[in-house]
């Protein structure tokens, strides 16, 4: 099956740089349904968020999803406003059959790499290439993947099989292959959850999570994959409290942001995890202010609740020059896939690799 590429040659950032005279607000917002209401159109036009994030509630079929994405970009008047989604594969996939393919979880691929490095890394890259092609065809430009979290015996199911491996070198290799596959397809990857979500024993979607590991353990193990991926264009923090460093959740901690920027060395665009999660608590407007003050470039708010988004927007400043520079640099990382891609051939190759894995792992 052949799929036409959607990228033109030439300057990858043409028409994509942000207007420095009218910078968007430093926030990415969710959407309530499958089409914008009049109130949402007016609100998004007025509030001017950097971009939007989609969930399963927003995606019924390809044509409807494309239409919604066009409405979102029209509302803010930017044809390349970033549209995000969580399409990791496995149980975290907002686009589901029958309209979209089902892709394997990261752990399945990590097990392949544990058995034979080249075979598994090829699967990691092809898997992400295929995911990226599906997203690019819809107009989705950013995928909240891959995870570079290390798997531990105590890891809560909130991560679980979303993590590649307990071996940090394998995590690093798999996450890089996945990120490169997305970039090849013209989709920006988000490395998450900086500086490491693997040790959490509870789900921060529902409750506050505290990690008691020593600073040395965290530096040597949890942070290692993120150091290896510090050149990636986009990253997402976590809401974990790392007691060895601070009593605040990472997303609100200037100490942890300093570690991310200096010790880990990540200088890409950095956004918070969803500020609706229960791993952080307080007034939503205070969370927005505090995550940006701590050092994130972008605040992420996902549930599409209008009354909350009004508060988020009221508290959120425009993007800083540094944040806009990071976003502009990210565009330079986008690949231009071939004009015609044999998706069927890629799917067959991935199926073969997964079949080998089923026999050998």
CA dihedral for 150, 91, 233, 299, sign (positive or negative): negative
Distance between CA atoms of 188 and 116, rounded to whole angstroms?
27
Which H or E element spans position 324?
Answer: helix 321-331
Distance between CA atoms of 108 and 89, rounded to whole angstroms?
10
Phi, psi for residue 249 in degrees, rounded to 5: -55, 145
Given the DSSP bridges, would you call strands 49-54 and 210-211 parallel, antiparallel or unpaired? unpaired
DSSP string, 208-248: --EE---HHHIIIIITHHHHHTTT-SEEEE---EETTT-SS
Options 86, 222, 273, 274, the catalytic residue: 273
Q: Indicate if 197 belongs to the active site.
A: no
Options 74, 99, 167, 205, the catalytic residue: 205
Closest CA to 225 of 264, 271, 273: 264
| Encoded tokens for 109 | 């691929």
CA dihedral for 60, 61, 66, 71, sign (positive or negative): negative
Distance between CA atoms of 278 and 188, rounded to whole angstroms?
27
List C-alpha distances in Å: 205 to 127, 208, 241: 27, 8, 14
Distance between CA atoms of 311 and 328, rounded to whole angstroms?
27
Distance between CA atoms of 302 and 106, rounded to whole angstroms?
23
Q: How many CB atoms lie within 10 A of CB 307?
A: 7
Any bridge partners for residue 235, and if so which?
191, 270
Q: Indicate if 205 belongs to the active site.
A: yes
Scanning the structure block, which residue is given the tokens 């600073």?
215
Write out the catalytic residue numbers.
205, 273
């Amino acid at each position: 099956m052949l799929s036409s590429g959607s990228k033109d040659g030439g300057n990858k950032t043409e028409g994509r740089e942000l207007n420095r005279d009218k910078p968007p607000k430093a926030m990415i917002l969710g959407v309530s349904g499958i089409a914008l209401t009049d109130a949402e159109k007016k609100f998004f036009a007025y509030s001017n968020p950097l971009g939007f994030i989609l969930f399963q509630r927003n995606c019924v079929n390809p044509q409807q999803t494309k239409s919604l994405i066009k409405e979102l970009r029209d509302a803010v008047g930017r044809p390349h406003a970033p549209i995000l989604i969580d399409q990791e594969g496995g149980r975290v996939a907002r686009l589901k059959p029958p309209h979209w393919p089902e892709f394997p979880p990261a752990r399945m691929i990590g097990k392949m790499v544990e058995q034979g490095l080249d075979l598994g890394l090829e699967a990691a890259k092809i898997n992400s290439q295929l995911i990226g092609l599906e997203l690019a065809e819809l107009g989705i430009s950013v995928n909240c993947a891959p995870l570079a979290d290390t798997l531990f015996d105590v890891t809560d199911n909130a991560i679980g099989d979303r993590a590649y491996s307990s071996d940090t070198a394998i995590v690093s290799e798999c996450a890089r292959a996945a990120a490169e596959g997305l970039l090849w397809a013209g989709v920006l990857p988000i490395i998450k959850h900086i500086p490491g979500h693997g040790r959490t024993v509870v789900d921060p979607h529902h409750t506050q999570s505290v990690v008691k590991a020593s600073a040395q353990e965290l530096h040597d193990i949890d942070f290692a994959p993120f150091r290896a991926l510090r050149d990636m264009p986009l990253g997402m923090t976590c809401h974990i409290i790392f007691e060895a460093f601070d009593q605040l959740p990472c997303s609100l901690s200037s100490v942890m942001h300093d570690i991310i920027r200096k010790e880990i060395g990540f200088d890409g665009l950095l956004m918070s995890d969803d500020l609706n999660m229960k791993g952080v608590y307080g007034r939503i407007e205070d969370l927005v202010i505090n995550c940006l003050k701590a050092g994130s470039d972008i605040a992420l708010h996902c549930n599409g609740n209008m009354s909350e988004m009004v508060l988020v927007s009221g508290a959120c400043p425009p993007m800083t020059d540094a944040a806009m520079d990071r976003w502009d640099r990210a565009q330079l990382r986008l690949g231009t896939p071939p004009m015609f891609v044999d998706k069927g051939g890629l799917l067959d190759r991935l199926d073969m690799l997964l079949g080998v894995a089923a026999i050998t792992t």
